[in-house]
Structure 1
Amino acid sequence: MDRPTALVPLHYVSLGAHGPEDVVPDPQGRVLTGVADGRILRVHHLGDPLAARVEVLAETGGRPLGLELLPDGDLLVCDAERGLLRVSTGDGTVRVLADSVAGEPLRFCSNAVALADGSVYATVSSRRHPLDRWIGDIVEHTGTGRLLRFAPEGGEPEVLLEGLQFANGLAASADGSFLVIAETGRCRLIRYRLTGPGAGRTDSFADDLPGMPDNLWREGPDGPIWVALAGPRVPPLHLLHRTPPAVRRAAARAAVHAPYRPSGTVGVVAVDDQGRTVHHLTRRRSGFRMVTSVCVTGDHLVLGSLREPGVAVCARPAAR
């Protein structure tokens, strides 16, 4: 991977709410996000901190995480408590698309992507630890993440993959032939093939990322896939993952009760459809921590965070 360049902060926009975990732009350049109290917000004029304005679109009644804007303007919302939702950005109507899978509640739904044929794919990060104990799953290395498919005609979600290490961000290739899945617990991206001779199989897409990948966002059909790095690699953690399950479970019990302070090193990566790095931006001693999402609007990169009470606006890097 190329030597990283500087992630240049420009300004910060407070939302009056905690934890804008995912950020996605709409065609007008406004940014949508979901926060810890269950609201879906739309932020106007992010490029000007004095003119920025926050609008409430809906309340999910749960905890929204990954967002996917649909062609008709509605929003797919992965809610950690309520499952997969469809939210009208016009009147705020919230409809539950799925709240169970394979006979169990759909919890910790993390990211979703809609394809041209009307099918929706979504990740589940953990079947063992809920969102407020996410660090327990990272430490225990449970491998209980999933990839789900929701057919256009509805019905029960189909489980396509199991055994993923904290399945997280999700994006489709430009031609729709494969999905890219972030495995946070393995610091890597994998490819799930949808078409061709290898359909239904997975292989490596980008290994040994410089941090733990979280949400993914594709910058249009010809642009790269942006990867938020929620934290840098932690070598002692990788050593712990090689220990017996009982040791990891004990460590996880301690981790969920210990104070957690995110690293001051933050970063984002952009990759093309061959898994090659297009951008690697990083900043040390950042005041804005635990970057869980990134998107582009205009000349800016917008960063979201599971922990911060606002979003960070950074300079967009020059094209490469």
Structure 2
Amino acid sequence: MDRSAALVPRRYVAIGGRGPEDVVADARGRVLTGLADGRILRLHGLTDAAAPRVEVLARTGGRPLGLELHPDGTLLVCDAERGLLRVDLDDGTVRVLADSVAGERLRFCSNVVALADGSVYVTVSSRRYPLDQWIGDLVEHTGTGRLLRLSPGSDTPEVLLEGLQFANGLAPSGDESFLVVAETGAYRLTRYWLTGPRAGHSEPFVADLPGMPDNIWRAGPEGPVWVSLAGPRVPPLDLLHRGTPSARRAAARLAVRAPFRPTGTIGVLAVDDDARVLHHLTRRRSGFRMVTSVCETAGHLILGSLWESGVAVCEAPAVKHPVT
């Protein structure tokens, strides 16, 4: 995965608020995102020459992170403060689907997907650190991330998988036989089998990534899985992770108090269901920092960021071939 192509930005679009952490495209090419102030936005015309239109759809009353367009036309929202929400896109009504799991408050849920059978799957990044101290979990390497399942009609998620290193982005395979889970703190994508002889088991899918995977997105069963890389690998952090738990905890206490500024190196990947890397796009010294999400629409890649006050519109690669 050493070879990469250029990630070419075409425009940066301010959207009137900070932290569009996740971006998803709908069937009409519009992009939905959530902001730090709790607003859910729909962005029209991002790839047009004219100025885009920003539409406020709802306010969650918390901090929306991962989004998923449900087949019934509503929007599923992972809210770091309120839990798993469902938003009616017609009138902006917000309903809590689940706010606890296994007797604990459901906080820092990160990403969500809905499958054809009506089940909903959710990642939880950390059981120890809240969103505003996310760096503490990456430094301490807590391994408290989870994968949850919410059955149709239920308001109580079940825990499918524990011990994940900052579980983050989530996407199904084309045939929905497995899920791909991003483990930000382990630089890897993990496969969790839903069907077949290995159902209920997990295994590495794409390991040793060149950066920290964040949200992941798939347009449909035929499209690739797009993976945002929130930051490059940090060798001192890799070394710390091999240290003692007490050393990691001490470093985490310092990290959550220290000022943070992301690097100017950004990147995205596209992989297929056979774990082949189709694209690896990077840009150094970028003015747009900390890419936490990516989606594709109208021949462009749209980048979201926990850090920025807008989105980036980039060229999408034209030819898809495995990177060796």
The question of whether the paired residues in 1 share the 8 Å contact of 2:227 and 2:294 is answered with: yes
**Are 1:153 and 2:153 an aligned pair?**
yes
Q: Which amino acid in structure 1 is aligned with residue 31 of structure 2?
A: V
Q: Hey, what does 2:239 align to over in structure 1? A: 239
Residues of 2 paired with 1:275 and 1:201: CA distance?
17
SS at match of 1:91: coil
Q: Which moved more, 1:46-55 or 1:265-274?
A: 46-55
Equivalence for 1:99: 99
CA distance in 1, matches of 2:290, 2:182: 16
Equivalent residues of 1:2, 1:277 under 8 A apart: no
Q: Is the deviation greater in 116-125 or in 70-79?
A: 70-79
Which residue number corresponds to residue 279 of structure 1? Answer: 279
| AA at the equivalent of 2:101 | V
1:84-112 deviation per Cα after TM superposition (whole angstroms, max 9, x unaligned): 00001110000000001111110000000
Cross-structure match for 2:14: 14
Secondary structure of 2:133 counterpart: helix
Partner of 1:83: 83
Contact 2:97 2:155 in 1 (8 A): no
Instruction: Identify the residue that residue 263 of structure 1 maps to in structure 2.
Output: 263
Q: Give runs of aligned pairs for residues 138-287 of structure 1, distance below 5 A.
A: 138-287=138-287
RMSD, aligned CA? 0.8
8 Å CA contact retained: 1:240, 1:248: yes
Secondary structure in structure 2 of the residue aligned to 1:51: coil
Q: Which amino acid aligns with 1:115?
A: L
> Contact (CA 8 Å) 2:40, 2:57: kept in 1 or not?
yes
> Does the 8 Å CA contact 2:300/2:314 hold for their aligned counterparts?
yes
Q: 1: CA distance between counterparts of 2:49 and 2:157?
A: 42
Aligned twin of 1:319: 319
Which whole-Å CA distance do the structure 2 matches of 1:86 and 1:4 have between them?
38
Q: Look up the SS of the partner of 1:254 in the other structure.
A: helix
Deviations 1:97-152 (A, max 9, x none): 00011111100000000000000000000000000000000000000000000001
- The Cα offsets for residues 200-224 of structure 1, whole Å up to 9 and x where unpaired, read as 0011100011100000101321110
Instruction: Tell me, yes or no, if the aligned pair for 2:33 and 2:41 is still in contact at 8 Å.
Output: yes
User: Could you say if the C-alpha distance between residues 49 and 231 of structure 1 is closer, same or farther in structure 2, counting changes exceeding 3 Å?
Assistant: farther
**What amino acid does structure 1 have at the position aligned with 2:277?**
T
Q: CA deviation at 1:51?
A: 2.4
1:49 deviates by 5.5
Alignment partner, residue 120 of structure 1 = 120
Report the Cα offset of residue 304 of structure 1: 0.0
For the residue of structure 2 that corresponds to 1:268, the secondary structure is strand
Instruction: Tell me the distance in 1 between the aligned counterparts of 2:42 and 2:190.
Output: 31
How many angstroms apart in 2 are the aligned matches of 1:188 and 1:49? 37
Partner Cα separation in structure 2 for residue 319 and residue 116 of structure 1: 30
**TM-score, reference length from structure 1:** 0.99
* TM-score under structure 2 length normalisation: 0.98
Q: Which letter maps to 2:82?
A: R
**Structure 1 equivalent of residue 46 of structure 2:** 46
In structure 2, what is the Cα distance between the partners aligned to 1:306 and 1:156?
28
Q: Report the alpha carbon displacement of residue 48 of structure 1 after superposing the two structures with TM.
A: 2.7
CA contact (8 A) 2:148 2:158 kept: yes
Q: Which residue of 1 is the match for residue 57 of structure 2?
A: 57
Counterpart check, 1:33 vs 2:33: yes
Cα drift, residue 2 of structure 1: 5.3
Cα distance in 1 for partners of 2:314, 2:292 equals 15
Aligned partners of 1:74 and 1:87 also within 8 Å: yes
Which residue identity does 1:51 align to in structure 2? A
- Residues matched between the structures, number: 320
Letter in 2 for 1:198: R
SS in 2 for 1:161: strand
**Equivalent-residue separation in structure 1 for 2:30 and 2:45 (angstroms):** 7
Q: Is the 8 A contact 2:19 2:35 kept in 1?
A: yes
Query: Residues of 1 paired with 2:319 and 2:207: CA distance?
Result: 23
Looking at structure 2, the residues matched to 92 and 73 of structure 1 have their Cα atoms a distance apart, in angstroms, of: 12
Q: Tell me which residue corresponds to 2:134.
A: 134
Which structure 1 segments of 5+ residues have no match? none
CA displacement at 1:153 relative to structure 2: 2.2
Which ranges in structure 2 are unaligned for 5 or more consecutive residues? none
Asked if the contact 2:215–2:292 (Cα under 8 Å) also holds between the matched residues in 1, the reply is yes
